[in-house]
Amino acid sequence: MRDGSGRVAVWRAAGAVLAVGWSGAASAEPVAGLIEPAWLIGPLLLLVVTFLIWNRRLRREVVQRRAAEQALRRYRQVVSATQDSISLIDRNAVYLLVNESYLRIFERRYDDIVGHSARELLGAETFERVVAPRLARCLAGETVNYQAWFERPSTGRCYLDVIYAPYRDQGTEIDGVLVSVRDITERRRAEEARQLAANVFTHAREGIVITDPQGVIVDLNAAFVEITGESRETLLGRRPAVLESGAGLLGGSDAVTVEAIWTTLADQGHWEGEFWGRRRGGESYVAMITMTAVGDEAGALQHYVLLYHDITALKLQQRRLEQAAHYDGLTGLPNRALLFDRLEQAMTQVQRRGGTLALVYFDLDGFKAVNDGLGHEAGDRLLAGLAVRMRGVLREGDTVARLGGDEFVAVLLDPGGIAELAPLLDRLLEALSRPMPITDHLVQVSASLGVSCFKQGDETTPDLLLRRADQAMYQAKLAGKGRYRFFTPGVDDAPRRHALAG
């Protein structure tokens, strides 16, 4: 009974002490009267005081824990809701926390990242080259911002904008790094595309011009400046010459009006053609131009883009090839192929419109003696000089061609009757027989001419017309050379055929 009554007395005393502790109004006398035996008073007081202190601290810790939990929940909500990808790593680059956006960027699950190091996530090479140097700067107290390419397991590379900020849990010591990541892959690719376009624009060998919807130049590259010979400042704010009426011949020999270009652009959105222009210094050039209309996302016209490809050298080469194919290399006169082409055109014109045509066959008298006596170079110079004289006598619309050797043919369209034609033939004979100085020698030859005529309704072919002029020329030679003869039907050409056979 004594032990039981003693435990009861102790708890009563403790209750009284607690009452004193909570209210502070009770007297100490009843307490003292309850305590049996006296040696328990000290331990009981110590126990009560300890309980009070522990209870107050516990309540404070509960309040703090609840506040911390609420703050953590709010932090996680904010971190999860932000568009940026957030993570927290310790000083050893081990992930302590990541949000959903971070997981999506790197295409990983939460357990694949948290508790693992950045080296494992990004790969050793990328970590050492890209991440480690910047983490070291951040752990030294610096906030670091950079952009770099990173590999992902499924969708390939991504370009990220990364911020490292020092993280301090308590005090001044840096405990880790707070990482903010934003995926700017599309922006980066757009920048690269713009940079590529700018490089192409700047370094392209073709001239590039950008105009507004009215055709006024708003930008151009250096190649266009080189093609035109104009300065950039002079060209800006103006229309390209191709869009100015009468500024150049378009489409080669087929003229194209500026109005037709605008119509084609409006209907088809592009136009292509040749432009014959003149540089600032007066030198002519030829450009192949492609014009394209450029609209916005809604389809509204914003710009025209013009590409100029300088084909001057190509045209010169083409002209040289045509010259070699259709002109005599020594005299510059049309050759046999071009002669027959022009002869056919002239005969067709006579058949359609009426009029007459005269074909004159030339053969030099005494040329062989010059060629053998003074050499082939002297003979060539003589032929070239006589070609110049023939062109000087004939009219602008007439054609004189070299068949080969010392034989030439002239096509005279609408020369008139014999009365009008005879003076022209006389001038030709005089021009061809005048002495010509060559290599310190005064060289003189003559010519025999044969003439055949063609009029509307004739069924003569170009070959037959040429043979008739050849027969007439041979008759002139038989008559004493240095003269002309007209073709006469029925005249026997056996001597000429015999000479050709021999």
Residue 304 in any domain: the answer is: yes
> Residue 71: its pLDDT value, please?
54
Q: Does residue 412 or residue 283 have the better pLDDT? A: 412
Q: What is the C-alpha to C-alpha distance for residues 381 and 90, in angstroms, rounded to an integer?
A: 96
Looking at residue 145, its pLDDT comes to: 96
The answer on 384 and 288 residing in a single domain is: no
Residue 32 counted as domain residue: no
430-461 tens-digit pLDDT: 999 999 999 888 999 999 999 999 999 998 99
102 and 237 inside one domain = no
**Quick one: 220 and 368 in the same domain?**
no
Is 421 within the bounds of a domain? Answer: yes
| 244 in the same domain as 357 | no
SS3 percent helix, strand, coil of the chain, rounded to 5, is 50, 25, 25
Whether residue 190 lies inside any domain: the answer is: no
**Contact status, residue 365 vs residue 481, Cβ threshold 8 Å:** yes
pLDDT, position 499 = 40
Residues 294 and 343 in one domain: no
Handedness of CA 220, 223, 225, 227 (dihedral sign): negative
Query: Are 362 and 459 part of one and the same domain?
Result: yes
Residues 301 and 387 in one domain: no
- What pLDDT score was predicted for residue 241? 83
pLDDT at 179: 94
Please check whether residue 39 lies inside any domain of the structure: no
In a domain, 67, yes or no: no
If asked whether residues 298 and 377 sit together in one domain, one would say no
Name the pLDDT band for 13 (thresholds 50, 70, 90).
very low
| Mean pLDDT in residue range 164-184 | 89
Contacts of 300 (CB under 8 A, 6+ apart): none
Pair (280, 355) in one structural domain: no
Judgement on whether residues 341 and 472 belong to the same structural domain of the protein: yes
Whether residues 337 and 311 fall in one domain: no
Query: Residue 200 has what pLDDT?
Result: 82
Least confident of 145-154, 243-252, 420-429: 243-252
pLDDT at residue 246 in the model: 52
Position 163 scores a pLDDT of: 95
Structurally, the chain folds into a number of domains equal to 3
CA distance 326 to 342: 11
- The answer on 217 and 170 residing in a single domain is no
| Mean pLDDT along residues 135-140 | 94
**Averaged pLDDT, 464-477:** 96
* Of the candidates 357, 318, 299, the residue with the CA atom closest to the CA atom of residue 487: 357
pLDDT over threshold 50, residue 26: no
Domain-ending residue, one of 118, 152, 184: 184
Residue 61 in domain: no
Distance CA 491, CA 11 (A): 166
Q: pTM to 2 decimals?
A: 0.52
Q: What is the mean pLDDT of residues 403-410?
A: 94
Distance of alpha carbon 314 from the chain centroid: 21
Domain range holding 258? 204-315
Can you give the pLDDT at residue 77? 58
Q: Is residue 41 part of a domain?
A: no
Which helix H or strand E contains 100, and what residues bound it? Answer: helix 100-106
